[in-house]
Amino acid sequence: MVVFLKILDASSFIHGYNPSIEEGIHYATRGIIDEVITKSEVVELSIEYGKLKIREPEPETVEKVRKMAIDITGDTLSKNDIEILALAIDLNGVLYTDDYGLQNVSERFNIKTENIIFEGINGRVVWKLICKGCKKMYDLNYNDDICDVCGSPLNRKIVNRIKSNKQKTNKKRNNKRGKNYKKNKTVNKNNNSNNSNNTNNNLNNNEIKFI
């Protein structure tokens, strides 16, 4: 029997996900449980039914996630966000979240995500600080909000967007379907032309016989 490991962040509880009535085994960190105190009844029932387990990630994995968010993607993740993604990596489970930042960093680690009520993120994004005046670019961990060149304020912006593998696959599939459609359309057109010619030939033969 296949057992599905589902890792739940705070947004999954907040948006109505109830582990006690869902398939699979669910995991969350203590930080996430403390964050969703208003859903304590759902949490306690899920733990009682054996459908929700509390577990902490490995410190090394937490550090990997933290560095990825700060140095590579530029996503702003809370301590709980970092720890729940690290747990998903440790367990190689599916992360249930509506948080776009978490979804973005998860893709870097090839961790599958499932959204609860919002549409999932479309590919990877990279955030940077951009000077409003001279357009100089800074990493998000830059320790000031003023440009060191011209003194203008810095704004947080997406500087790169990369399509996910799922999007690329869908695009290839759609392109292939389009080519097959054109090919089938051409074949059907040729068949219709041949059928028309055969019909004309039959008519001509009938006319000759009649005469």
pLDDT digits 0-9 by tens, 104-157: 899 989 999 998 875 544 555 567 788 888 988 888 778 888 889 888 888 877
What is the mean pLDDT of the segment spanning 183-198?
A: 56
Q: Which amino acid is at 119?
A: E
**Mean of the per-residue pLDDT values for the chain?**
79
The beta strands (E) that lie in the chain are given as 5-8, 25-28, 52-54, 94-96, 113-114, 124-131, 137-138, 154-162
Going by C-alpha positions, the residue among 36, 40, 47, 42 that lies closest to residue 11 is 36
Q: What is the pTM of this model?
A: 0.63
Give the per-residue pLDDT at 70.
Answer: 81
Q: What is the pLDDT of residues 44-56, one digit of tens each?
A: 999 999 999 999 9
Give the per-residue pLDDT at 90: 97
CA distance 195 to 206: 16
- Show the domains of the chain with their CATH numbers: 5-114 (3.40.50.1010), 125-161 (no CATH)
pLDDT band at 211 (very low <50, low <70, confident <90, very high): very low
Residue 171: per-residue pLDDT: 45
Report pLDDT digits (tens) over 167-182: 444 444 445 555 554 5
Cβ(8)–Cβ(17) below 8 Å: yes
- From CA 207, how far away is CA 211, in angstroms rounded? 6
